[in-house]
Amino acid sequence: MKHLLGVLLLTLTLISCGDRTKKKESKVERQSEFAEVNTITKDSLKFPVYDFAEFEHLLKREDGKTYVVNFWATWCKPCLEEMPYFEQVYAEQKNNGLEVILVSLDMPSMWKSRLKPYVEKKELKSKVVILDDPKQNEWIPKIDPDWDGAIPATVIYNTNDRKFYGHGFTYDELNEAVNGFLNMN
């Protein structure tokens, strides 16, 4: 019940932040839009676009590195407030085996108009990927069974441990969490 309520809240948040006049698309139109956006992404956005099946491998790497996987969107004010901390920790720790993956949950209509300009303006150095999979009820519990779907949310993991954080970070909190994982290696 708690999970269902969380998913409903996430859905309402996404709807309230999105274009309310958007008509329901057929599966064919959706696939066509995805193919078009994917082409645009490859050529001009330079962000990979994944559905969850394609994305999931980024949550399970066992290569001796520590991964920080942050779920965010340009319409999420707390996400944008914590973004500099991810960039700072990455800059300070990338030589110690840290990888930061910023997973945008922005809607396709925002990729060129909001996501790309934000990444360019802020000169983000972390890897940015787009998770475009409308089956949130299926993939949210695969990331963490207790995740209600709210963002910002972060997974930090390495071959020794994995932890989910369903909240935003200050620089000190993020740095402390990352150092705990780096000290395991």
Classify 135 as helix, strand or coil: coil
Q: Inform me whether the pLDDT recorded for 124 exceeds 90.
A: yes
Give residue 97's pLDDT. Answer: 95
Written as six digits, the tokens of 133 are 């999979």
106: alpha, beta or left? (left if phi > 0; alpha if psi -120 to 50): beta
pLDDT score at 8: 40
Q: How confident is the model at residue 115 (pLDDT cuts 50, 70, 90)?
A: very high
pLDDT > 60? residue 44: no
Give the span between the Cα atoms of 151 and 10, in whole angstroms: 9
- Residues 95-113 have pLDDT tens digits of 999 999 999 999 999 999 9
Give pLDDT, residue 45. 60
pLDDT, tens digit, for every residue of 139-170? 999 999 999 999 999 999 999 999 999 999 99
pLDDT digits (tens, 9 = 90+) for 29-43: 444 444 444 444 445
52-96 pLDDT per residue, tens: 999 999 999 999 999 999 999 999 999 999 999 999 999 999 999
- The pLDDT value recorded for residue 138 is 97
pTM over cut 0.85? no
Classify domain 2-17+47-182 at the CATH topology level.
Glutaredoxin (3.40.30)
Domain ranges of the chain: 2-17+47-182
For residue 185, the model assigns a pLDDT of: 62
pLDDT confidence bin for 20, thresholds 50/70/90: very low
Q: Phi and psi at residue 66, in whole multiples of 5°?
A: -105, 135
d(CA 120, CA 118): 5
